[in-house]
Structure 1
Amino acid sequence: MHPLPFPAPTPLRDAATDTGGKNLGALPDWDLSDLYPAPDAPEIKRDMDWLEAACRDFAADYEGKLADLDAAGMLDCVLRYERIDTVSGRLMSYMGLRYYQNTTDAERAKAMADAQDKITTYTTPLVFYTLEINRLPDDHLDGLFAANADLARYKPIFDRLRAMKPYQLSDELEKFLHDSSTVGAAAWNRLFDETIAGMMFEVDGEAYNIEGTLNFLSEPERDKREAAARELAAQFGSQIKLFARVHNTLAKEKEITDRWRGLPTPQAGRHLANHVEPEVVEALRNAVVAAYPKLSHRYYALKAKWMGLDKMQVWDRNAPLPREDNRIVDWDEAKATVLEAYADFDPEMARIAEPFFDRGWIDAGVKPGKAPGAFAHPTVAEVHPYVMLNYLGKPRDVMTLAHELGHGVHQVLAAGQGELLSSTPLTLAETASVFGEMLTFRKLLDAAPDKATRKILLAGKVEDMINTVVRQIAFYDFECKLHDARKAGELTPDEIGDLWMSVQGESLGPVFEFMDGYETFWAYIPHFVHSPFYVYAYAFGDGLVNALYAVYEEGDPDFRTKYFDMLKAGGSKHHKDLLEPFGLDASDPAFWDKGLSMISGMIDELEAMED
């Protein structure tokens, strides 16, 4: 089912502001009518009523009987389940997208919560489905797949369900966990979202929301960056007990559930959901941590030199470089830049992306109450994705557009797999988005008119890669430490802050000094709340795309066909099978070094420019 309608947002790129930019042109808003005509449309009640009856009838027809179904009967069962998943997903997508447009609107928040409550209640009778499938013998299922090719197409879904078989609880406990989910993690998620969205920060006598204040961290004026950083620290500090309560509660809830299930580590559930082996993630993590000195430490030492600083402060990390182009990129130029980059790779990619701009599939402007960050939500396979941005016309905003549009293209292509098989594991879900960014970056780099412009572009890309790889693995280490420490008891805000700071110096390097108050900056990261251990997927995706792009640059004549086939596969194949046509294997530790060497090579070029 769809207990939460959205993935975690893309990592904040410090590139959005509070009330919208000037001279950006007409920014598009969502047209949600492809889901439902209006929040009070009769189609919503129709689908809610259908869903309630469909779940009740499904349970009546199949509970206690899955073991007796032949191949044709099992296929009918799967197709009925898929239809239920589609209708519930459509409902929650509509309610969720409306809510994320204005998280401070009480009516929208209530509508989403009420819909979630109803869907959770309606789908509780379906909990038996996974439990009974996991009680079927392997040879019985294999026989069903052998007897019916249409059913065999769904084997990856059965494999994913059965990966949780060793950690399955009793029928009664599983139903209880499902039924209570709306007053557990989902409720704490909402408290976090609404608190963050409602916070205001004063910089130079003016009030801004969190997006506007984070934006100042990438402004040219150092005094303004410092003022914003100190105001963020002050306001986070004022709410730090609440944020600590959210994290303590969610970590404890997860520990209890994991303990009852017998999961070996706090990360194990995420790895299972991502269909990735723990040793692959550990190889990625170790490769990135080992590379800190030649990546982030080396780059930030260079940046400090460019800025004329002996030591960098946290408000200097995302500062623009001297001579960096600070012009505003209007919406039409951003659209043209990304679509041309996509078309240069393959016209089909631009053709798929075009409707996002023309049909109300993008919500670009920054508005009061709108959720921070950016995401692409696939909704359901029979509709289309929607992209959310907070666009203010900075060059990094163009990269964010390329990133989220890459997600959208991926989701359109994968939709052909149908509702159950279209969803891509998080480790591969970042592939098309990061690849889209790379295509856009390379187009801009090739068009650079001089050495100085090339240097600025390279440095910007390195910073984005450090934010995507180094920062996200540091976040992953922080989460690992947080969940491990929580097992011993309640954590004070200071103790959580100490864990946060323990990964900052290690990952950013000796050139940094850390202001008092920076120990609270864990508080606003949405990934820790919404999707524990999600963050390594960004580093996984970046490393994977760097390796893929190297294959592309080597001139594989079939690369485009292989690439589109990979995206069309959605969640129907394991990462080993998807990467095999490219001669790549993520379980090989050298794979990650190959990806990281692309970042290191860009830093080599930047260092060479110093001569």
Structure 2
Amino acid sequence: MTRTSSSNTTRWRTRSRCAAKAPLWTAKRSSPCTGCIFKGSQGKEVSSGGAPNTARLFPATTRTQMTTQPSDQLERPHGAENITWNLDDLYSSVEEADRDLEKAAQQATEFASTYRGRVAELDAGALTQAIGRFEALQDLLGRVDAFAYLRWSADTGKPEHGAFLQKVREASSRLIQSLLFFELEWMLLPEEHANTLLTAPDVSRYRHYLEVQLLFRQHVLTEPEEKILAEKSVNGIGAWTRYFDQMLAALKFNFRGQPLSEQEVLSKLQESDRSVRRDAALALSKGLGTRLPDLTFVFNTVLAEKASDDRLRRYPHWLSARNLSNQVSDETVEALVKAVSGRFDLSARYYRLKGKLLQIEPLEDFDRYAPVKTGTEETGWFFTWEEAREVVLSAYQSFHPVFGETARRFFDSEWIDAAIRDGKRGGAFSHGVVPSAHPFILMNYTGKLRDVQTLAHEMGHGIHQYLSRKQGALQASTPLTMAETASVFGEMLTFRSLIERAQKPAVRLSMLMSKIDDTMATVFRQIAMNGFEDSIHKARRAEGELSSDRFGELWIQNQEAMFQGSVKLNTHYATWWSYIPHFVHTPGYVYAYAFGELLVLSLYQVYTEQGDAFVEKYVRLLEAGGSDWPERLLAETGVDVKD
């Protein structure tokens, strides 16, 4: 991936956090609607919290003096305990959402009555009008689905939340079945006729959406077959992914006699006290062990369903469907994986260096995210919620006023849920909801430096989702390969702001090591996780149902390939594959993090060279959402993704 001359410009397109996405029949395998589950689920041990696997969803300040506290004081109040979102912008009650669900059902019936069997007869103007109605219906249905999912995510323990979510999912499945004909009829048009329509000026607004559908024409089934698959997905794979989420949200980990949530125990892997890290790792492993048979069964079920789906749709490789949705070739992804895995020696060198700085040789698995301290300096920064807010707002405001203003709306308008509480799902995500509404951010704030970076990351997603709303429900979002662009770029901006505030060399060293930890996790670890995912999909198809030990064996094998002896992996670590949601929600997701990180490094390099000249190009990139092919949009910024 290289930078190009600014004169080499064209335009681009993207995936489905919300739109410009794969067809309706692929919705059950679509990527998380937000495109983010933050890095721990990217691969760092942060949390299993994932984004929903829903049908058709969108996608000069003052400086604060950071407070430092020893690690044993990090549980003190931070001010995020009461930071919760207000979903009234979507619906003020379940009854109101129910009415829109009924409205969507009526609109779907009318749409099918008008257009079923007639798509081939539509001229460009009539086709555009039909797509407009189809898009409005997607927006309405997506709003209800988002409300149900966000309400459930905030408290998975309430039966009424789960019941309403399931009701919406089942209703959505029925509506999707009634609408399948529309995209199927378009995909089955003779190629010459389809190309004629694509060149018509009237179709220009939706051209890329239509182009993306044609990518899948070799993999669609008949409408009755597609209806059967859509029907079974809600109470099949959809039910298993929900069970996975609820199981982990309810799980408690016994840390030194205290029952902690997954998020809380994972955060202790970042403590400076090695005994705390060790005990946290053991607590995590023991807790996962209590549900390992169930988690193993869920994984086997997901793997078997994916194999069945690939076989029915004639995909040559378990990753082919994901690559097509990401708008990249199998060969391009293979080249990425080979390029990164071919330099695992860099990862090993880094962890050996970190071991020397920590005076722990070799590092053990629970040492990887330990903060690096030099001399007597305490670098375990503690941030109140207000301090974190100021840091993130300052970073985005300094880049562009639109970014700062948009970020401020999230804080001021109650679009963020940051409090940790029983029943709330772990991790972090930004849910794009639908273009007619606005995004919402969920995270679990504990006051650590990484939480500030998490907030910056999710805010990047939120800004991207907010700016791309103008593209509408069918083209607002990006493929996975582009989904992390704004989030990781936002992290870079925030990191720069933070390190500029750090005056002492020891603090700067600690921050740089933490940032490199992030990069190692986002690039090298993700490719190692892709290797694990590749192994389990192939093994499930060749060997049948896999045991927990077999999963653990393949996990350790792929992790050791990355560390090359620089990190000792203990036996307890063999179960840590079991809480990562991407493997369940979105098979094939993880390589996109490596792609996205490398892409952002290229974009950030252009920014450092061009300064303000780059900023407006970047704003246009985010506003474009999924309205063109990725390489075209990126070319306008000076980046060539094919090189």
Which of the five TM-score ranges fits, normalised by the shorter chain? over 0.9
**2:461, 2:532 → 1: CA distance?**
27
Is contact 2:529–2:559 with CA below 8 Å preserved after alignment? no
CA apart distance, 1:152: 2.0
Which residue is equivalent to 1:10? Answer: 38
Counterpart of 1:376 in 2: which secondary structure? Answer: strand
For residues 551-587 of structure 1, the C-alpha deviation after alignment (integer angstroms, 9 at most, x for no partner) is 1111255201110111011001112101212332222
> Of the candidates 206, 214, 231, which is equivalent to residue 283 of structure 2?
231
Counterpart of 1:202 in 2: which secondary structure? Answer: strand
For residues 468-511 of structure 1, the C-alpha deviation after alignment (integer angstroms, 9 at most, x for no partner) is 11111111111111101111111111111111011111112312
Q: Where do 5+ consecutive residues of structure 1 fail to align?
A: 589-611
For residues 83-109 of structure 1, the C-alpha deviation after alignment (integer angstroms, 9 at most, x for no partner) is 110011000000000011111221111
The reply to whether residue 584 of structure 1 matches residue 612 of structure 2 is: no
Counterpart of 1:127 in 2: which secondary structure? Answer: helix
CA apart distance, 1:384: 0.5
Is contact 1:8–1:530 with CA below 8 Å preserved after alignment? no
Which residue is equivalent to 1:520? Answer: 575
The reply to whether residue 97 of structure 1 matches residue 125 of structure 2 is: no
Counterpart of 1:428 in 2: which secondary structure? Answer: helix
- Taking the TM superposition and a 5 Å limit, the aligned residue runs for 1:212-251 are 212-251=264-303
Is contact 1:270–1:534 with CA below 8 Å preserved after alignment? yes
- Identity across matched positions, percent: 38
CA apart distance, 1:16: 7.9
CA apart distance, 1:286: 1.5
Is contact 1:280–1:586 with CA below 8 Å preserved after alignment? no
For residues 310-363 of structure 1, the C-alpha deviation after alignment (integer angstroms, 9 at most, x for no partner) is 211111111122245223200111111111111221222101111000001010
> Of the candidates 185, 192, 197, which is equivalent to residue 144 of structure 1?
197
TM-score normalised by the chain length of structure 1: 0.92
- Higher deviation after alignment, 280-289 or 176-185: 280-289
Is contact 1:54–1:84 with CA below 8 Å preserved after alignment? yes
CA apart distance, 1:144: 2.4
Which residue is equivalent to 1:445? Answer: 499
> Of the candidates 349, 354, 359, which is equivalent to residue 303 of structure 1?
354
**1:517, 1:211 → 2: CA distance?**
18
> Of the candidates 348, 354, 358, which is equivalent to residue 408 of structure 2?
354
The reply to whether residue 321 of structure 1 matches residue 372 of structure 2 is: yes
Which residue is equivalent to 1:115? Answer: 168
> Of the candidates 138, 155, 166, which is equivalent to residue 218 of structure 2?
166
TM-score normalised by the chain length of structure 2: 0.88
Which residue is equivalent to 2:457? Answer: 403
Structure number with the bigger relative contact order (C-alpha 8 A, sep ≥ 6) is 2
The reply to whether residue 34 of structure 1 matches residue 86 of structure 2 is: no
**2:481, 2:557 → 1: CA distance?**
26
**1:247, 1:556 → 2: CA distance?**
46
Which residue is equivalent to 2:560? Answer: 505
The reply to whether residue 541 of structure 1 matches residue 596 of structure 2 is: yes
Counterpart of 1:207 in 2: which secondary structure? Answer: strand
Is contact 2:48–2:581 with CA below 8 Å preserved after alignment? no
- Higher deviation after alignment, 180-189 or 503-512: 503-512
The reply to whether residue 551 of structure 1 matches residue 579 of structure 2 is: no
The reply to whether residue 490 of structure 1 matches residue 545 of structure 2 is: yes
- Higher deviation after alignment, 422-431 or 228-237: 228-237
Aligned partner letter, 1:424: T
Aligned partner letter, 2:229: L
- Taking the TM superposition and a 5 Å limit, the aligned residue runs for 1:449-468 are 449-468=503-522
Is contact 2:436–2:469 with CA below 8 Å preserved after alignment? yes
Which residue is equivalent to 1:604? Answer: none
Aligned partner letter, 1:95: A
Is contact 1:407–1:430 with CA below 8 Å preserved after alignment? yes
- Taking the TM superposition and a 5 Å limit, the aligned residue runs for 1:558-573 are 558-573=613-628
Moved over 6 A (4+): none
Counterpart of 1:517 in 2: which secondary structure? Answer: helix
**1:257, 1:17 → 2: CA distance?**
25
CA apart distance, 1:145: 3.5
Aligned partner letter, 1:304: G
Which residue is equivalent to 1:275? Answer: 327
**1:395, 1:256 → 2: CA distance?**
43
**1:224, 1:472 → 2: CA distance?**
26
CA apart distance, 1:46: 2.1
Structure 1 residues 23 and 517: CA distance shift in structure 2, 3 A: closer
Q: Where do 5+ consecutive residues of structure 2 fail to align?
A: 1-23, 50-73
**2:616, 2:36 → 1: CA distance?**
30
- Taking the TM superposition and a 5 Å limit, the aligned residue runs for 1:38-117 are 38-40=93-95, 43-117=96-170
- Higher deviation after alignment, 361-370 or 226-235: 226-235
Is contact 1:15–1:218 with CA below 8 Å preserved after alignment? no
Aligned partner letter, 1:71: A
**2:285, 2:483 → 1: CA distance?**
33
**Count of residue correspondences:** 583
Is contact 1:429–1:541 with CA below 8 Å preserved after alignment? yes
Is contact 2:255–2:280 with CA below 8 Å preserved after alignment? yes
CA apart distance, 1:531: 0.6
Counterpart of 2:259 in 1: which secondary structure? Answer: strand
Is contact 1:341–1:439 with CA below 8 Å preserved after alignment? yes
> Of the candidates 393, 398, 403, which is equivalent to residue 344 of structure 1?
398
